[in-house]
């Protein structure tokens, strides 16, 4: 009671409650927690109480609603113990278990946790409702996994019909587990879910801000039923395990429609499944918010206003090319324009656009689809990806015959797109006449605005990073990642684009016709004002949007 009163007085000093309110709460405590009684009576908000108690106890406050809990840490305590003390382990590091508590005055609970776990326990303070929600989430996963563990070890030998029935039953443990995996992935801002059979179990990982994170392990016995469940949802052949398959399905999660694109891949331990999460809100980003530098954005917008010509977006898989193309389509989309796209697959539905999905099995390839849509009087054509000579030739010829063509190429930088088309067999004089501009891009993680740190960089470091002598002399501070609850201790939250834009000047057209190397084209483009990917990234680091280390990770 002594600690409880001390924390109560701390709340009074902070102006959170009055002495009368504390007296009333203490009279109704009856073994409960002071923060809960105060919040239930409406005397103060949970967050204000938790922050004040954390400060009074000299502990850290954690916002669990945006914190990525370590699933391995959460298994250190049983659901019974977590609910008894209203705590949840959130991080395990160097033999020290970080535990979120709602009532730091309950020192007996913390002592009990040390005895139960047998390791050092470091308490942090969190809102009681957030702790309860987290316990519900992780105990739900544990229950589903425990039920799955009871499945027969040799489930591969069960008839396909029996496995299908299990995977279709809404009450089946596997169905509940798959639903939890999907919903938690969406809530954690994941772009992909990796379900990977290992030798002894199944590993589940989420890709958040471009980096994979371990989420959970599932019993090996659940492998067949889990893959069958996802195949049923994606309308795939559940009997086919030897060949890769692709499909998609939709769900409503937290009131929002979410599409999942599914790809299976046979491995030595079973079928690996990757689900790409496609949220419409994530693709409908205005052009101005993608991360273009002001001068680069102005050039890109000017190219989009032209009635014909080709605009290519280049970069590796996962660099945000599709998002950039859709943002461009949103700019040019109007009643006066007939926009037709050819994609594999159609990832997002765009109102006002005629979208065609290729179907190689039926003979509908990029090339055959393009030949057909050109007879449908398009003003703007968007091609998901140029993969072969025939598609490239039709795209280039379309740009020359009065159409604005948007597409992607897999090259590392903008000048390499010219040489890539030549290597594919496109005549250089056609390339020179058709292309208006080429964009290369990467995605870099944004520094967390709540915890990024300012530091004074060493001149040798700036030079090795690629800053010019003029910049080195004037740069006094940069920013680096630190890590906090808001960014799940990564130091980063969200991503931003890094762009390189090359316009087809007369000099570059001449070099294209002469079949010059990409290095020669790069030199001329740089002289004419092209900002390279690395330079654009370093400018973003200087502005505090990202770190130099992150730029070098994605660009070099």
Sign for the pseudo-dihedral over CA of 179, 180, 182, 186: positive
CA 114 vs CA 70, 117, 143: distances in Å: 19, 5, 25
Q: In Å, how far from its chain's centre is CA 116?
A: 36
Under DSSP, the state recorded for 359 is: B
Residues 6+ apart with CB under 8 A from 360: none
- Answer yes or no: are the C-beta atoms of 102 and 86 closer than 8 Å: yes
Q: In Å, how far from its chain's centre is CA 60?
A: 27
3-state secondary structure of 229: helix
Report the C-alpha gap between 216 and 201 in whole angstroms.
10
CB neighbourhood size of 408 (10 A): 22
How confident is the model at residue 172, as a pLDDT?
A: 64
- Answer yes or no: are the C-beta atoms of 55 and 63 closer than 8 Å: no
As to burial, measured by CB atoms within 10 angstroms (0-12 exposed, 13-18 middle, 19+ buried), residue 255 is exposed
Under DSSP, the state recorded for 42 is: T
Q: Over the range 13-41, which residues count as b (16 or more CB within 10 Å of their CB) and which as e?
A: ebebbeeebbeebbeeeeeebbbbbbbee
Under DSSP, the state recorded for 64 is: G
The two three-digit tokens of residue 270, written as one number? 């079973």
CA 380 vs CA 68, 236, 307, 356, 359: distances in Å: 43, 34, 8, 14, 22
How confident is the model at residue 264, as a pLDDT?
A: 95
CB neighbourhood size of 147 (10 A): 16
The two three-digit tokens of residue 230, written as one number? 């996802």
Report the C-alpha gap between 273 and 484 in whole angstroms.
32
Q: Phi, psi at residue 249, to the nearest 5°?
A: -155, 170
| pLDDT of the chain, 556 residues: tens digit per residue | 446 667 777 778 777 778 787 787 777 766 666 777 777 777 777 788 788 878 888 888 888 877 777 766 776 777 788 888 888 888 877 778 889 988 877 788 888 888 887 788 889 988 888 888 888 776 655 555 555 545 444 444 445 455 555 555 555 677 778 888 888 888 888 889 999 998 888 889 999 888 888 887 777 878 888 888 899 999 999 888 889 998 888 888 877 888 898 999 999 999 999 999 987 666 678 888 889 999 999 999 999 999 999 999 999 888 889 889 988 998 888 889 999 998 887 777 788 889 898 887 788 888 888 888 888 889 999 998 888 888 899 899 999 988 999 999 989 999 999 999 999 999 999 999 999 999 999 999 999 988 898 988 888 888 888 888 888 888 888 998 888 767 777 888 889 999 999 999 999 999 999 999 999 999 999 999 999 999 999 999 999 999 999 999 888 6
Q: Is 357 left (phi over 0), alpha (psi -120 to 50) or beta?
A: beta
Report the C-alpha gap between 129 and 124 in whole angstroms.
15
Report the C-alpha gap between 231 and 215 in whole angstroms.
21
- Answer yes or no: are the C-beta atoms of 228 and 245 closer than 8 Å: no
Angle subtended at Cα 213 by Cα 82 and Cα 250, rounded to the nearest 5 degrees:
90
Helix or strand (DSSP H, E) at 493: strand 492-503
- Answer yes or no: are the C-beta atoms of 391 and 381 closer than 8 Å: no
Torsion (CA) 373, 375, 378, 382 in degrees, nearest 10: 30
How confident is the model at residue 282, as a pLDDT?
A: 60
Strand pairing partners for 276? 192, 261
Look-up: residue for tokens 């004089």? 429
Report the C-alpha gap between 372 and 387 in whole angstroms.
18
Per DSSP, the residues of 72-86 read HHHTTS-HHHHHHHT
3-state secondary structure of 349: coil
Angle subtended at Cα 255 by Cα 252 and Cα 259, rounded to the nearest 5 degrees:
30
Per DSSP, the residues of 177-228 read HHHHHHHHHHHTTEEEEEEEE-SSEEEEEEEETTEEEEEEEEEGGGHHHHHH
Report the C-alpha gap between 66 and 210 in whole angstroms.
18
Q: What pTM did the predictor assign?
A: 0.66
Report the C-alpha gap between 323 and 441 in whole angstroms.
11
Instruction: Work out whether strand 256-267 and strand 339-343 pair parallel, antiparallel, or are unpaired.
Output: unpaired
3-state secondary structure of 160: helix
How confident is the model at residue 155, as a pLDDT?
A: 45
CA 53 vs CA 33, 79, 137, 340: distances in Å: 12, 25, 25, 59
The two three-digit tokens of residue 435, written as one number? 């292309």
Q: Phi, psi at residue 339, to the nearest 5°?
A: -105, 125
Report the C-alpha gap between 31 and 139 in whole angstroms.
25
């Amino acid at each position: 009671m002594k600690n409880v009163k001390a924390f109560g007085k701390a709340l009074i000093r902070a102006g959170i409650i009055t002495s009368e309110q504390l007296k009333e709460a203490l009279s109704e405590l009856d073994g409960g927690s002071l923060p809960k009684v105060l919040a239930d009576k409406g005397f103060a908000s949970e967050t204000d109480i938790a922050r004040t108690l954390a400060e009074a106890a000299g502990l850290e406050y954690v916002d669990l609603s945006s914190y990525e809990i370590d699933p391995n840490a959460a298994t250190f305590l049983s659901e019974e113990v977590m609910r008894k003390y209203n705590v949840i382990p959130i991080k395990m590091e160097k033999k020290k278990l970080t535990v979120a508590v709602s009532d730091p005055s309950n020192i007996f609970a913390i002592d009990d946790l040390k005895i139960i776990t047998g390791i050092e326990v470091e308490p942090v303070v969190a809102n009681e409702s957030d702790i309860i929600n987290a316990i519900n989430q992780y105990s739900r996963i544990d229950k589903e996994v425990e039920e799955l563990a009871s499945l027969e070890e040799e489930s591969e030998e069960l008839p396909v019909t029996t496995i299908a029935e299990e995977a279709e039953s809404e009450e089946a443990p596997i169905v509940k587990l798959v639903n939890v995996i999907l919903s938690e992935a969406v809530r954690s801002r994941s772009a992909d879910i990796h379900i990977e059979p290992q030798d002894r179990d199944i590993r589940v990982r989420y890709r958040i801000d471009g980096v994979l994170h371990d989420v959970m392990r599932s019993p090996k016995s659940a492998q067949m039923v889990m893959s069958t469940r996802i195949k049923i949802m994606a309308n795939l052949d559940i009997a086919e395990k030897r060949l890769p398959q692709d499909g998609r399905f939709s769900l409503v999660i937290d009131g929002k429609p979410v599409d999942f694109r599914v790809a299976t891949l046979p491995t030595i331990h079973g079928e690996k499944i990757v689900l790409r999460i496609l949220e419409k809100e994530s693709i409908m980003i205005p052009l101005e918010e993608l991360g273009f530098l002001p001068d680069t954005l102005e050039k890109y917008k000017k190219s989009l206003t032209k009635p014909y010509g080709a605009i290519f977006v280049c970069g590796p898989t996962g660099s945000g090319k599709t998002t950039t193309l859709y943002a461009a389509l949103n700019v040019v989309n109007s009643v006066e324009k007939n926009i037709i796209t050819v994609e594999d697959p159609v990832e997002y539905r765009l109102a006002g656009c005629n979208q065609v999905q290729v179907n190689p099995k039926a003979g509908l390839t990029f090339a055959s689809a393009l030949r057909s849509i050109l007879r449908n009087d398009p003003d703007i054509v968007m091609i998901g990806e140029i993969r072969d000579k025939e598609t490239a030739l039709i795209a280039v010829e379309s740009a020359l015959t009065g159409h604005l063509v948007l597409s992607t190429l897999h090259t590392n930088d903008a000048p390499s797109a010219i040489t890539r088309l030549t290597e594919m067999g496109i005549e250089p004089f056609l390339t020179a006449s058709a292309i208006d501009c080429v964009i290369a891009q990467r995605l870099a993680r944004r520094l967390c605005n709540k915890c990024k740190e300012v530091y004074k960089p060493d001149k040798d470091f700036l030079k090795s990073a690629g800053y010019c002598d003029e910049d080195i002399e004037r740069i006094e501070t940069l920013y680096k990642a630190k890590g906090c609850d808001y960014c799940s201790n990564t130091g980063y939250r969200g991503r931003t684009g890094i762009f390189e834009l090359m316009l087809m000047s007369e000099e570059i057209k001449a070099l294209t016709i002469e079949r010059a190397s990409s290095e020669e084209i790069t030199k001329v483009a740089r002289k004419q004002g092209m900002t390279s990917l690395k330079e654009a990234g370093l400018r973003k680091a200087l502005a505090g949007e990202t770190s130099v280390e992150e730029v070098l990770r994605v660009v070099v």
